[in-house]
Structures are given as C-alpha cells and as structure tokens.
Structure 1
Amino acid sequence: MADQLVELNVTGMHCNNCAISVHKLLEKKGFHDILVDFASEEVKFSADNDAAVKDAIKSIEGLGYKVIDDAATHKEKFYDKVENKLIFCALFTIPLLVSMLLPWHFLSDPWAQFALCLPVFIVGCQHFGKSAWSSVKGGVPNMDVLIFIGSSSAFIYSLIGTLQHLGMRYQFYETCATIITLVLLGNLFEKRSVTQTTSAVKDLIKIQQVNARRVVNGEIEVISAKEVRAGDTLQVNTGDKIPVDGEVISGNASVNESMLTGESIPVEKAKYDKLIGGSILEHGNITMMATKVGSNTVLAQIIELMKKAQSAKPPIQKTGDQVAAIFVPAVIIIALVTFVLTWMVGHAGLQHAIMNAIAVLVISCPCAMGLATPTAVMVGLGRAAKNGILIKGGDTVETVTRAKYIVFDKTGTLTTGKFSINDIKAEAGFDTSVIRGTITAIEERSNHPIARSLVDGLKGLPQQKLILKSVTEEKGLGMRAEDVDGNHYFLGASKDKNKDALFNVSLYKNQVLMAQIEIDDEIKPEAASLITQLKGMGIKPVLLSGDRQSRCEKVALALGIKEVHGEKLPSEKLTVIDIYKKKGQTIMVGDGINDAPALTQADIGVSMNDSSQVAIQSAKVILLNTNLYSLVKFLQISRHTLITIKQNLFWAFAYNIVAIPIAAFGFLNPMFGALAMAFSDVVVIGNSLRLKVKKVS
C-alpha cells in the first residue's frame, strides 16, 4: 500500500520546543516526511495505514496537545483559553500582592493566603504541569518544566510552613501565584504575537473563501468556491473576487492581481486570457471557464509553498535548536547547584536558598531561543509574499545572503520578452504568405515569449494558414511540427554560423531552409539600475543565454555585464552554473520554462515568469511581478530577515547568560524573574514583527 500524506491540526503548541517534541515523537514511531509548524498548528507526515495514524494522534495527545478536525471551525473551550485562565488567576493573585503592601491582617493570615493561592496553583498544575510532564516523557523538556518546578517549590515550601506554624518567613504563596499569573500573561502576548507572524498565510487563505456564480442551463446558482469543478462556467461581475483559476469565455474586464504579483495596476483581460483565483475584477463583467480548482489553483499552491517555507529551517537555527534541547536540564542542574551552594556553603538559610533556586528556574527562557528563528522567517516570508515574491524555504533566506554571483537569462528576464519582427528573409521557392502562415500555426501552440510575440506581430498580415497534425517543443532549441500531409517543420534559434547574424530564427521544411527571421526585444528599463545595485551589494552579474553570442554581448555591454555566455543549450547551461557554484554561492534568474534545469542546478533558482507550473517546480524563488526591482527587494528582505534572526538569537542567548547568574547570586526576586521571563519571548517576537514595517535597503 502506498504511503498517504496525513495532515493534522494540533492545538497547544506555543513554541519551537513543542514542535520539536512532536517531531521527535513521530520520528521514533517511524514516520517520515514529517513537517511540524507550531505557529499554524499543522502537523504533516507520511503513513502507510490508518491504524498508524490513529496511534500517532493518540501519542500526540499523550504529549498534552489536542488534535482537532478543522482549525477554521474549532472553538476553544472557555476554560482552555489562556485569556480566561489569566483573568481567573489575576483575581486571586491581586489580593495576595495587596497583602504585601497594605496592613490588612486578614489577608496576612496563612490559611487565607493558602485559600487564595490554591485555585491559582491548580490552574498552574493543569496548564503547566500537564505540558511539563508530557514534554519530559517526549524527551524534550520545555519551559513549562521550569515554571512548574518553580511555582510548586514555592507552594509546597509555604504549605509546610503553614502546617507547622512556622510564621511569616515561610509564606511565599504570593510568589507561587504571581509566577503562574505572569507567565500566563506572557503566554497570552506570545500567542497573539505569533498569530501576527503568520498573518500573510491566513490572509491568503481568506482570499480562497469566496462564493462563485455558476451558470447552469442559463440559470445562475451561488455556490462556494470549494464546490466549483473544472469545466464549470462562472459569471464574474465588477467587484467580485475570481473564485478559481480559469479562462475568459466572453466579456472584457480590468483585474487587480496585486494579491499575487504585488503590482497594483489592473491587468486588462479579454477572451481566452487566463484568470487567477483570488484576484479582484475591478471593472467589467465576464463569463469564465474554470480550469484549475481546489489544491491545483495557483493560490492554493502558493499557500502550500509558504507553509512549507515557514517550516524549513535555516542552518543558523540548528544552533538555537541544539541549545534549546539541552537548556531545561541544564537550568535544573544550575538551580540545584544554586540551592546547595546558597544553603550549605553560603549559610544563607533554607528560605533564601529556595528563593534563589526558584528565581533561576523562572527567569530562564528556552522559548526565546526556540522562537528566535521561526518568527523572523515567518514575518520575512510574509512580507516577501505581499511584494509578489514567493520563497520556497526558510533556508533559502540564509543562502541568498551569501550570494557571490547572479546568473541571468536574457530573454524575458533582462529584456522585456516582447519581440518585434524586423524582417523575414524568404528563401527561393517559398512564398512569404505561406511562411507567415506556417510560423503562426506552429507558434500558436507555445507559451514562450518569442512565440507569443511572433504570433502577435503577424496578426493582420496576409498569410496562408497551415493545418498541423502535431507540435512538440524542445526546450532551448525550438518547435517541431508535422502537418496533415506528413511534412516536417522546425522553427527555432539559428545555429548556422554561416548565416547572417542579424537573422536569429530559422524555419525549415523537411530539413530545407524556408526562411530566416530577424527578431529583437527591448532591454527592460530598470535592468541597468538593477545591475548597478547588485554590483554595489558585492554581487557579480553574469549573462547566460541560448541566444547568439553577438546579441548577448550587445545586451551585456548596454547593462555593464562583463561575463557573457551565449548560444548555450540547456545541458550546456548546467556546466556554466557548476563552474560558478565552485567559485561561490550562485543565484540563477530565468523564465522558469527553458531554464528549468539551470534553475534547479543553481544554489538558488529564481523564476521571473508568471508562476507557470514549471517555474513553481524548478525555482526556489518565484517573482510573480516581472519588474526586476522585485529581485532587489527579495535580496533586501532576505538580508534583513537574517539580520533579525541574528538579533533575536543574540537577545535570547544574552538574556539567559546575564539573567541566570543574577538570579543564582540572589539579586533577583522570583516574581520579577517571572515578569522578565514572560516578556523575553515578547521582545523576540516583537523584533521579528518589526520586519513587517521596517525599511529594507
């Protein structure tokens, strides 16, 4: 039986340590293709039978997490909400704190303090204790272990003092209650902040949740976009979101595709033009045919790519994960050593020794280290997506910041991809109208920029149309066709060095030259500025193309590119990419169709195309807006994302390195320690959230 991909919605994971626990559990059980994202509360893995899936769900819930059917419809129980737990605990904690400030003798009574602290302690046991025990069983102790031990120590110490009538010196109920309440406050801030880091994906998911007007026998019925099937006819009016991918059947419209490309200028659509689900029809009315629905739409694939990207770990995260995995046991040992040294060596008294040990436990924060990288990656990828940049993995962000070379394809990348036919040179015995008809018949079957330009350029000119039986595209070479009479045609790049260099496309019939065509395209207006900026960033630009060397050199000279490789077949492009990869990290920028092998071969493949299927599969980065400035924006966002990760890790490590010794030497009250710990996560997440609005340059 083939493995099935299992997708679970798991609530209760609040940091990367939780995700590591679930990941290790599934690894132990022999599952593979495991992907755990604590922020989106998704767990994916491959399983070979239903019994194994049921066992996995049972084991995940055994760790203290909850597997739910649908995250969109799931409603958290009243008593499970962190907000409600915090309010409940605060109602009992505030009187305990008031007793320290005001001379209200009835609040100073040990049994009154016990009664106020007990409900808070029970909530703490339920919230932190269950999670702590589950994490220990899973082999990855989390922060809740430290909180549970610290608060329990204060409670038990106080209870013993109360039972034995040892007096005020043994009453630390307010410490226990305050630790639990403040950490719950930190959990609430953390929960809301993490939600903001995943807002880009959630915004895209909301775009999918629209209705569609399906036309059936002339009647219109309103259905959910999920119910649309390929081949359905849909009516879309002004102001509507286009429900699924499709093609215009009739009508004209202006469509805003900024959700996909980042380009706010509407795109004009007419009959046979492609439509992208989720884009907005700003003006006009059209009838469309659904071509891709459900998980096959461009938007659904983008969402899936972003989810995978956010869970892909950059190499820099490994250090944080390794430290976080051993952090909790190390802190417990430090707390024990602090207790022993303070009590036995320092002769400071049992009470002082316990308070110092508790302070060590509650001020340490492994979550800050666990959150440092994923939160920055999530926000960085989200900001990139809103600029029409799809990055396939968090590891891509770190790789691109070390780039030494950017290798550009020419056609459709540095040039506009809009070609004009300067001249058609017919060979003896061939009529120009027949040549035009042959070119049109062949190139109508291709999506290549040159093909589209040739068809557009020949519209309205006299031509004798050819009826073809088959057409095949050979990447990097051209188009082969066969007509109904059995004649074979080839239309592609001219490779004959003896031919006129100006004529760069040749048409053959049965291996006999019919015509030579001179076509040319314009350099993108922003290309020169881009190359200058890349050089300023210390990145060397390279031109790699299948076009003639003379034309490549002409473009390179205009842009200031010194290294040029022309007339390269797809297989030869791979060799060139390998040469540069040996010199340093190499980015390849291409159109995602002819350059698919080179995009895959490079350290980072960047597609400048219109999110075709080949582009999505081949490149690690897809620039949905073909304006070259989006490439600079991609480099800038990647660079600032890595800076943010380093800042987060520095804060997380520095906080613990400084705070733990301060607590161990008795300079920190456990309540202040709990407050500092509660906000350390928020500082890390807050720094990551700055990426949403931070100026990147």
Structure 2
Amino acid sequence: MLSDTPQDEPAQSGLEPGEARSVFRVDGMDCGECARTVQRVMNKLDGVREVAVSFNTTKMTVVHTAPLDSIQKTVSDVGYRATVLDTTLQDPDLPVHDGDVTQPSYWERNKRAILTAVSGLFLGAGLVTEYAGWSESAAILLYTIAILSGGFYAARAGYYALKSFTLDMNFLMTVAAIGAAAIGEWSEGATVVFLFSVGNWLQASTMERTRRSIRSLIGFAPKEALVRRNGAELTVPVDSLQIGDLILVRPGERIPMDGQVEAGTSTVNQAPVTGESIPVLKQQGDEVFAGTLNETGGLEVIVTKKVEDSTLNRMIYLVEEAQEQKAPSQQFVDRFATYYTPIVVLLAILIAVLPPLFTGDPFSEWIYRALALLVIACPCALVISTPVAIVAAIGNAAKQGVLIKGGAFLELMGRIRAIAFDKTGTLTQGKPVVVFVEPFDGIYKERLLTLAASIEARSEHPLARAITRLSEEKGIRHLPVQEFQAVAGKGAQGRLEGSLYRIGKPSWMQELGYEGTEKLKTVLSVQHEQGRTVMLIADERRVIGLIAVADTVREDSENTIARLKQAGIAYTVMLTGDHARIAKSIANQVGIGEYHGDLLPEQKLARITELKQHHRLVAMVGDGINDSPALAASDIGIAMGGAGTDIALETADIVLMSDDIGKLPFTVRLSRKALGIIKQNIWFSLLVKLAFLLLTIAGLSNLWMAVFADTGAALLVILNGMRLIKQR
C-alpha cells in the first residue's frame, strides 16, 4: 500500500517554528543528472533543511527558512529557473512568500533557444571565414563568441557540479570545449558546444511533451465555482469550498468539485478522470467528479470532498508519485552511471598522458582523443532511457482512465502471464437482474410480474429490487398489499385483491406443502444448472409462476478475456465466493477455462499462493474491498472502479478508474510495450557508447562526431519512449 507522502519527498507536517514547505517548478532540466545537480546545490544553501528534486515532474519540494528569492537565485545560478507553485507556512504570519512568482518573460522562457541560435550563427560565420581564408584571428573570434554563447549554461552548471564534487555531463562538455581551444582546435570546440546546446534544447522540448501528459489533467480542474449560500449565488475560489456547499454547474462548464447531484439531469463527460469515451447520464443521487464536463443540462451539486481530496487531485498526486518511483531497470542504470562516468574520466586522463610517454607521439593528438572520450562518456542517453518511457506510459494510462502506481508495477505488469479474476462486480455487473420469467396454468406474464412486484415493493432484499426494477422498466403499476409479511431467509407474502400470494425460495414452497408439477421440476432444474437464483410465486392453492434472477455478465467480459489471450496472457482463472454452479456458468460465458467457487477470503489467498508457485508472476483483478487479501498477495493487484472509491485508490497497484474491465488488455499491451522500449533504450545506449569509445581510442572518431553521437542517442531514446504516449 502506498503511503500518503511521496517517496523521498519532505513531509507536509512536522514543520518547525519559522519554517515553510514550498513547491517549485524547475524549468530547464533535461536529464536526471540535472536534477541531482540542483539537489546538491540546494542542500548546501543556508536555511534549507530538506529538499527533494523530481526530474520526471520538474518539481522541487523544499523545507526552509531561507527567503524564496534566495532559493530561486541558487537554482538560477546552476542554469535553471524555479517558479513557486505552493507554499505552506508553519506560522501564517511569517513573511516567507517573498520570491518572484510572476510569469517568465519571453527572454526568460527562450534564453536557451536564443543563445543556441546565436552560437549556430557565429559558428557558421567562423567556418565560412576560416575556409575562405580571410582571417584566422577573425575566425577564432567568431568561434569564441559561438563557444561563449552556446556554452554559457553548460559552463555555469559544470562549475557548480564541480563545486559539489561531481562530474556531470556539463562539466565534461566544458572541459572538452576548453581543451579543444587550448590545442588550437577552435572549430571543433565551437561545433561541440553548438551541438551540445542544440541537443539540450531538443531534449528539454521533447521531455516537456511527455510531462504534459499529466499536466493536462491539472488543467481540467476549474479555479472558481458558482455556489449558493444564504439564498445568494456567489462566485468563489474552489479552494474555499466546504463540504455541504451547494454548487451550480451550467451546461458546458466543468464540475469544480466532487459531489452528489442534488437536482437536475445532464450528461457528463468523465474522460479526464475515468477515461470513458461516452458521456454518462447524471441525475439526483449520482456521484460526480471534479474536472469532468457537464454537457447538456444544469446541475445542482452538494460538495462531498475538500479540494485536496477530490478524485482528480488524488489521481494527479498518485500519478506524479508513480512517475517518481524508480523501476528496477532504472535503479540498475543509476547504479551503472554512478561508477561509469568516473571510470571513463580516469581512462581519458590515462589516454592523454601514457601513450605519448611511451610512443613519443605529440601530446596534442592524444589529448584530442581524450577530449573526444570525455564527450562520448556523458551517460545522458543511458540515464534518460528508462524514466522517459515510464513518464510517457504512466501519463498515457492516466488519460485513458488507468492509474498505474509506479514504474516497478509497469515493468512487472509487462511480465505477467497469469491473471486471476473475482466474479462479482468484476466479470459481472455486481447486481442481480431478472433474466427469466415463466408463468404456469394460463397466468399471463404481466399479471405474474404485477403480483410479484407488488409484494416485493415492500422488501429491501436485493432480489426483490431486481423484480421491482423490471416492473418499473415495463411500466407495471403495483397493487395495494394488505397483511404483508416477510419471512426471513425464505420469502414474503401478502393479500392482493383479497387473495393471499407468496413469493420465495422453492424449499419454502415445499415446506408449505405446494406440489411441483413435472414442468416446474424441469424448469427449476434448467435454471439451477445455469447458476440462476429461482423464486416461485404461488396463490393459496398452487405455484403459478417462476422468476429467475442472476448477476449478469458485463458486456465486455468475454471480449476482454479473448483480447487478453491475444496480448499474451497464457492463463486466466476465476476465484469467487459464489456457488460453484454459478461460477461454472459465468466462466463458460466469458471463456475462462478454470474456476473455483465457494471460496472464503482466506481460501482465495491460498489459491493465489498456489498460482504464484506454478506461474511465478500473477495479477489479481477485484473490487479492492472484499478481495483485499488476494489483491495484496498477488504480484500485481488490479482494482475495479477507483473513481470515488478511496480503498481501491489506496490498496491496488493498478486501478481501472471507470470500472471498465475492457481497459485491462490496453494496460497489458501498454506495459509490455513499455518494457520492450525500456530494454531497447538501455541496449541501444550501451552499444552506442561502447562503439564510440572504441572508435575514439582508435583515433577514428573526432569531437563533433562524439557529441553528435551522444546527443543523437539521447534524442532517439526519448523519441522511442514517447511512442508510448500514442499507445491506444
């Protein structure tokens, strides 16, 4: 189960006197090493007690007494921009929120792009000047301007990385550019800087596209609401809404807060929360969610949750938390990169020094090779290979109404081969409906339903409600009932139009002495064989009809099982506490070969344990309430209907927000594609690095080829990961 506080993030509580907890958006981070650099410099700032920087969500959370402008300047010093999103004060009277929270200017938003363009122009001018033979000193001046403009951010970030005793890609690139200029390779140095600057800009742009997959959810939540208080209609900030407020939602407006419809009827587009493509009819008593679009009619909604507890807010929070949880492959890559970069730096020093000492070759030739080695050593493509795929996949799934709670679960789901299903509410609708009506001895079907519904209208039993729902759908009017009596566990009876009628279990009718005809026995046998619950209707002398009720299969269940098999799920099984006869009937209808009925919760748990022994990795699909032990024991717990269901959101690893089992094959395909792309990215990054390391040592690669390979590899793994955004 996930905790209420994101991993590695400072808790909201526990602030000491004078402290604040602030959340910033940090723009300009294009790889995980950038985030680590920001975190290191922030940890050294006076007045900062805790800090957590997220590369995937570009958020930085700080517990501090330092002024906000001091924090923002520190971030700016290493080449990034911090914008305040939220500040929570230990003491609301303290003047902590004094930082610059205005929108960035055009220059501030586009500094990197503009400096990159300037670098490219001066590089081009320098190349023309050099190869035209006009003036060597003019060419060097042009190259110098290209290096200074294109390398400004890299040099500044590299300086701060060195101060914190780390060797990041900015430091390596800065050393390579300075070294190239020092040995007279001005054009090479300027080309390296320009290509690196272009690469950083492209990486930042493409990563921003993947981050928008979750930020788009935030845009669905309105900032204001029309509320009726003391007879007056007021427009108030959503943050000020209280539980019990009555909000008015006009056609075409988004619903500002979770609540229950008090009055009005309308269709509501719930796609932002549940991923449903078809609008849902909402009327009095129905639940609605913040961020969903009211389409056709006006609604009056009673607020049932605070803004921070709304389904949309919790979903955004859980998705952002999920994007920060490192998958096993990402943990491997991070460990690898920790040792990889220092080893390559040491190797570059040895290459620059040892060969000239033993061969007598010029130092400049081997220094050049060492510089090229430093450039290709940047592990950017490798480090970014996994998180970009995880962010894209989890963000896409969220937009489709599937909440995946972390990269580890995404990867694990991609390896699942066996899935166990609960029956009630998962493969079936979860509520009984009348599926068969058989009158006897010349009684009309409508007359039989009238008698049955009139008696059952007095009962609260779920089977009784199934009969009354059918009568309402058919427009059948109920007869007045006298002397109504419910017989616990057996049925009910009452007088209608002066005669006594009974409805209940066949065993009760047998106790009362009613004799069953051969036709009745045959129909009973057929209905029981199909797993249906049968109720008999009788007058004072004989049984006059039969009504069969069953929990019907969801429309998409059979198709879902078939699509899961096509997606590579080799084994499916149904585990239910219902009667084995009913389990068999449902299993046959949906195409599941194995089923187990009459299971208590602990027996379901035992079955899951057995399945794991035979199939290693097992997922369990249930409603998140009755199936909690089995969901917890499975490798992946998948809950149905998370929208508005707190326990499903908290306990499961994956939540189907719309209660639509048809989303499950999509989830399997997305997870498998993500797992495949992660493997492709890792292997591609490692092979490119290895190939260019060997070429550089052999003297067959130069500086601009090295930086082009490094930047190109990073962009390719990003673009490859972004394919997951389009998965449908």
Q: Note whether the superposition's TM-score is higher than 0.5.
A: yes
Q: 1:309 to 1:179 in 2, by over 3 A?
A: same
Q: Which residue of 2 aligns with 1:42?
A: 59
Q: Which residue of 2 aligns with 1:686?
A: 719
Q: Which residue of 2 aligns with 1:18?
A: 34
Between 81-90 and 220-229, report the one with greater CA deviation: 220-229
CA distance in 2 between counterparts of 1:295 and 1:456 reads 37
1:269 partner letter: K
Of 592, 615, 630, 2:624 maps to 592
- The correspondence of residues 578-617 of structure 1 with structure 2, limited to 5 A, is 578-583=609-614, 584-611=616-643, 612-617=645-650
- The correspondence of residues 402-413 of structure 1 with structure 2, limited to 5 A, is 402-413=415-426
Q: 1:436 to 1:340 in 2, by over 3 A?
A: same
What's the secondary structure of 1:99's corresponding residue? helix
What's the secondary structure of 2:296's corresponding residue? strand
Q: Which residue of 1 aligns with 2:560?
A: 530
- The correspondence of residues 181-260 of structure 1 with structure 2, limited to 5 A, is 181-260=194-273
CA distance in 2 between counterparts of 1:420 and 1:628 reads 20
- The correspondence of residues 6-405 of structure 1 with structure 2, limited to 5 A, is 6=21, 8-9=23-24, 11=26, 12-20=28-36, 36-44=53-61, 67-70=82-85, 74-75=103-104, 78=107, 81-105=111-135, 108-109=136-137, 112-123=138-149, 126-138=152-164, 140-155=166-181, 157-158=182-183, 171-405=184-418
Cα displacement string for residues 192-251 of structure 1 (whole angstroms, at most 9, x for unaligned residues)? 000011121111011114432222344433344334332222221221111111111111
Between 8-17 and 682-691, report the one with greater CA deviation: 8-17
- Is 1:661 aligned to 2:674, yes or no? no
CA distance in 1 between counterparts of 2:329 and 2:170 reads 25
Between 144-153 and 564-573, report the one with greater CA deviation: 564-573
The Cα of 1:350 is off from its aligned counterpart by 2.8
What's the secondary structure of 1:411's corresponding residue? coil
The Cα of 1:69 is off from its aligned counterpart by 1.6
CA distance in 2 between counterparts of 1:201 and 1:27 reads 28
Higher Rg = 2
Q: 1:625 to 1:561 in 2, by over 3 A?
A: same
- The correspondence of residues 549-588 of structure 1 with structure 2, limited to 5 A, is 549-583=580-614, 584-588=616-620
The Cα of 1:657 is off from its aligned counterpart by 0.6
The Cα of 1:661 is off from its aligned counterpart by 1.7
Cα displacement string for residues 464-517 of structure 1 (whole angstroms, at most 9, x for unaligned residues)? 99xxxxxxxxxxxxxxxxxxxxxxxxxxx9xx9x999778699xxxxxxxxx99
Q: Is the 8 A contact 2:456 2:468 kept in 1?
A: no
Q: 1:90 to 1:200 in 2, by over 3 A?
A: same
The Cα of 1:619 is off from its aligned counterpart by 1.0
Between 189-198 and 70-79, report the one with greater CA deviation: 70-79
1:609 partner letter: G
Q: 1:51 to 1:358 in 2, by over 3 A?
A: closer
1:674 partner letter: V
Tell me the matched-pair count: 623
What's the secondary structure of 2:124's corresponding residue? helix
Identity of aligned residues (%): 28
CA distance in 2 between counterparts of 1:686 and 1:409 reads 39
CA distance in 2 between counterparts of 1:26 and 1:451 reads 65
Q: Which residue of 2 aligns with 1:469?
A: none
Q: 1:458 to 1:396 in 2, by over 3 A?
A: farther
Q: Which residue of 2 aligns with 1:417?
A: 430
The Cα of 1:553 is off from its aligned counterpart by 1.8
Of 691, 696, 705, 1:672 maps to 705
Q: C-alpha root-mean-square deviation of aligned residues, in Å? A: 3.9
Cα displacement string for residues 572-598 of structure 1 (whole angstroms, at most 9, x for unaligned residues)? 322322222333111110122322332
- Is 1:439 aligned to 2:470, yes or no? no
CA distance in 1 between counterparts of 2:293 and 2:343 reads 54
1:264 partner letter: S
CA distance in 2 between counterparts of 1:133 and 1:653 reads 27
What's the secondary structure of 1:207's corresponding residue? coil
TM superposition score normalised by structure 1: 0.80
Q: 1:566 to 1:25 in 2, by over 3 A?
A: farther
CA distance in 2 between counterparts of 1:562 and 1:116 reads 74
Q: Which residue of 1 aligns with 2:447?
A: none
1:562 partner letter: G
Q: 1:24 to 1:590 in 2, by over 3 A?
A: farther
CA distance in 2 between counterparts of 1:668 and 1:177 reads 17
CA distance in 1 between counterparts of 2:585 and 2:40 reads 56
Q: 1:417 to 1:75 in 2, by over 3 A?
A: same
What's the secondary structure of 2:625's corresponding residue? coil
Q: 1:653 to 1:219 in 2, by over 3 A?
A: same
Q: Is the 8 A contact 1:253 1:281 kept in 2?
A: yes
What's the secondary structure of 1:196's corresponding residue? helix
2:32 partner letter: N
CA distance in 2 between counterparts of 1:571 and 1:561 reads 22
1:255 partner letter: V
- Is 1:625 aligned to 2:694, yes or no? no
Q: 1:22 to 1:553 in 2, by over 3 A?
A: farther
Q: Is the 8 A contact 2:265 2:297 kept in 1?
A: yes
TM superposition score normalised by structure 2: 0.76
What's the secondary structure of 1:439's corresponding residue? coil
Cα displacement string for residues 444-470 of structure 1 (whole angstroms, at most 9, x for unaligned residues)? xxxxxx9986885687757999xxxxx
Q: Which residue of 2 aligns with 1:164?
A: none
Q: 1:325 to 1:438 in 2, by over 3 A?
A: same
The Cα of 1:178 is off from its aligned counterpart by 2.1
The Cα of 1:614 is off from its aligned counterpart by 1.2
Gaps of 5+ in 1: 159-170, 425-430, 444-449, 466-492, 507-515
Q: 1:229 to 1:505 in 2, by over 3 A?
A: farther
Cα displacement string for residues 8-44 of structure 1 (whole angstroms, at most 9, x for unaligned residues)? 3252532122334567889999x99986421321134
Q: Which residue of 2 aligns with 1:635?
A: 668
Cα displacement string for residues 74-129 of structure 1 (whole angstroms, at most 9, x for unaligned residues)? 52783683112213323432222222322222xx12xx345334444445664223
Cα displacement string for residues 166-197 of structure 1 (whole angstroms, at most 9, x for unaligned residues)? xxxxx322222222221111110000000011
CA distance in 2 between counterparts of 1:597 and 1:99 reads 74
Q: Which residue of 1 aligns with 2:488?
A: none
What's the secondary structure of 1:284's corresponding residue? coil
CA distance in 1 between counterparts of 2:427 and 2:466 reads 16
1:262 partner letter: G
CA distance in 2 between counterparts of 1:673 and 1:295 reads 48
Between 658-667 and 390-399, report the one with greater CA deviation: 658-667
Between 391-400 and 530-539, report the one with greater CA deviation: 530-539
2:120 partner letter: A
The Cα of 1:422 is off from its aligned counterpart by 6.8
The Cα of 1:309 is off from its aligned counterpart by 1.2
1:145 partner letter: F
Q: Is the 8 A contact 1:419 1:454 kept in 2?
A: no
